[in-house]
Amino acid sequence: MATAARPVVFHDKQIAMAHGAGGEASRRLIEGLIQPAFANPFLDGLADAAVLAPQAGRLALTTDSFVVQPLQFPGGSIGELAVNGTVNDLAVSGAAPIALSAALILEAGLTAEVLRREIAAMAAAAARAGVSIVTGDTKVVEHGKADGMYITTTGLGLLDPRAELQVQRVEPGDRIFLSGPIGSHGMAVMLARAELDIEADIRSDTRPLGCFTSALLEAAGSGVRWMRDATRGGVATVLNELARDADLTLVLEEDAIPVEDAVRGACELLGLDPLQVANEGQFVAILAADVADAALAAVRGIAGGERACLVGEVRRDRYSRVVAHSAYGGARVIDMLIGDPLPRIC
């Protein structure tokens, strides 16, 4: 692709098939909108590949696709999710992001205004996470063949040398750490669809988690056994996967799990379990008991980490499962989410 001799401006009102065809319209879109927003030296040449210098240490590579309706919802939007989601997959792997790639599938008819907004959201989220989007691709599909836009991001990260995250290192007696109140993202999106005609001031929790995972590693080092962001399926699902993979029982103290009031109210109304509702800015970690308190204090000392808490512990039992204990001595098995969370009426 040749570098433009004069500045290219994107004045188009909406996306058409031509914007994905590689011709003049594509050039306007890329050079007039996307490249300026993501501005970084890797993109400036608009070569077919970004060229990165080799790094000392171990690399982490992750990819994720983002489809969400509506594209924008209280507290976030698809562009912000697409960056945070991938950055967070790196963070809970114990890696700091080096670079991101982004692939956009746009539906013909998408307004330029929406695209401009989402590109800006991606740029802002990348800046907040301290990473650049160094390469990408854009395709357009016919109207009616996609929900406005889909984004796939790939993240390359450098592993923190202190990170020794392995399911096999999780042991009975370890503590279960949760970074903050759960269920906000899933509920914000569900209510934003407006099909249920329910209003609440619930905002998605989408945010980069790197500062918190770094703080845990800084405070607890190899005492951090395992981390996972609790996205689709919520905390219940990631813990069930851990219980199965580690062949251990995870015991939660139900009352210790923070849930915002409005999220709880919406869950009661719709018959949903907050533990099964998606998060985009919370993660779960397993910490060695002797360093758990110090690690918790470290996270709580960071803005946005105030409501982190220890919510349970790892046990060995005949069965590998997730169990929640209540204050009055009751207990229930916490299951994985089956399919999508569906409002329960009867």
Partner 1 sequence: MKYVDEFRDPELIRKTLGEIRALADPRQHFRFMEVCGGHTHAIFRFGLNDLLPPNVELIHGPGCPVCVLPMGRMDDGLELANDPNVIFTAFGDMMRVPGSQGSPLESKARGADVRIVYSPLDAIKIAQQNPARKVVFFAIGFETTAPSTAVTLRRAKQLRLDNFFVFCNHVTIVPAIRAILDSPDMRLNGFIGPGHVSTVIGCRPFEFIARDYRCPIAVSGFEPADILQSILMILRQLRRGEAKVENQYDRVVPWEGNLAALRALAEVFEVRPHFEWRGLGFISHSALKINAAYAPWDAEQAMPMRGISVADPKAAQCGEVLKGVLKPHQCKLFGKECTPERPIGALMVSAEGACAAHFKYGVHEPPLVSLSTN
Partner 2 sequence: MCLAIPAQITELQPDESWALVNIMGVRRRVNIDLLLDDPPVLNDWVLVHVGFAMNKISAERAAEQLKMLAILGEDTAAADEVGGYDLEPPNEVGGYDLEPPNEVGGYNFEPSDAVRSNTEPSEGRPPYSPEEPRDR
Sites of contact with partner 1 (CB under 8 A): 195-198, 249, 251, 253, 264-265, 268, 270-271, 313, 315, 317-319, 321, 323, 325-333, 335, 338-339, 342-346
Question: Is 52 or 342 the residue whose CB approaches partner 1 more closely?
Answer: 342
Question: Is 221 or 343 the residue whose CB approaches partner 2 more closely?
Answer: 343
**329 binds, options partner 1, partner 2, none, Cβ within 5 to 8 A by partner type:** partner 1
Sole binder of partner 2 in the list 117, 169, 264, 300 (CB under 8 A): 264
Contacts (CB under 8 A) with partner 2, residues 200-219: 200-201
Q: Which residue's structure tokens are 């500045």?
A: 7
Q: What's the angle, vertex CA 306, arms to CA 300 and CA 310, rounded to 5?
A: 70
- Contact in structure between 109 and 14 (CB atoms under 8 Å): yes
Question: Is 121 or 187 the residue whose CB approaches partner 1 more closely?
Answer: 187
Binding mask 165-204 for partner 2 (x = CB under 8 A): --------------------------------xxxxx---
Closest of 258, 279, 269, 277 to residue 334, by C-alpha? 277
Question: Is 60 or 170 the residue whose CB approaches partner 1 more closely?
Answer: 170
- Element containing residue 63 per DSSP (H, E): strand 59-66
Q: How many residues bind partner 2 (CB under 8 A)?
A: 16
- Can residue 327 be called a binding residue for partner 2 (CB under 8 A)? no
Question: 239-272 as b/e, with b when 16 or more CB fall inside 10 Å?
Answer: bbebbeebebbbbbbbeebbbbebbbebbeebeb
Question: Is 46 or 269 the residue whose CB approaches partner 2 more closely?
Answer: 269
Report the nearest approach of partner 1 to the CB of residue 214 (Å).
Answer: 29
First to last CA, the chain: 59
- Can residue 345 be called a binding residue for partner 2 (CB under 8 A)? yes
- Contact in structure between 29 and 1 (CB atoms under 8 Å): no
Q: Is 113 exposed, middle or buried (0-12, 13-18, 19+ CB in 10 A)?
A: exposed
Binding mask 265-284 for partner 2 (x = CB under 8 A): xx-xx-x-------------
Q: Is 102 exposed, middle or buried (0-12, 13-18, 19+ CB in 10 A)?
A: buried
- Contact in structure between 260 and 182 (CB atoms under 8 Å): no
Question: Is 74 or 265 the residue whose CB approaches partner 2 more closely?
Answer: 265
Which positions touch partner 2 (CB under 8 A)? 197-201, 261-262, 264-266, 268-269, 271, 344-346
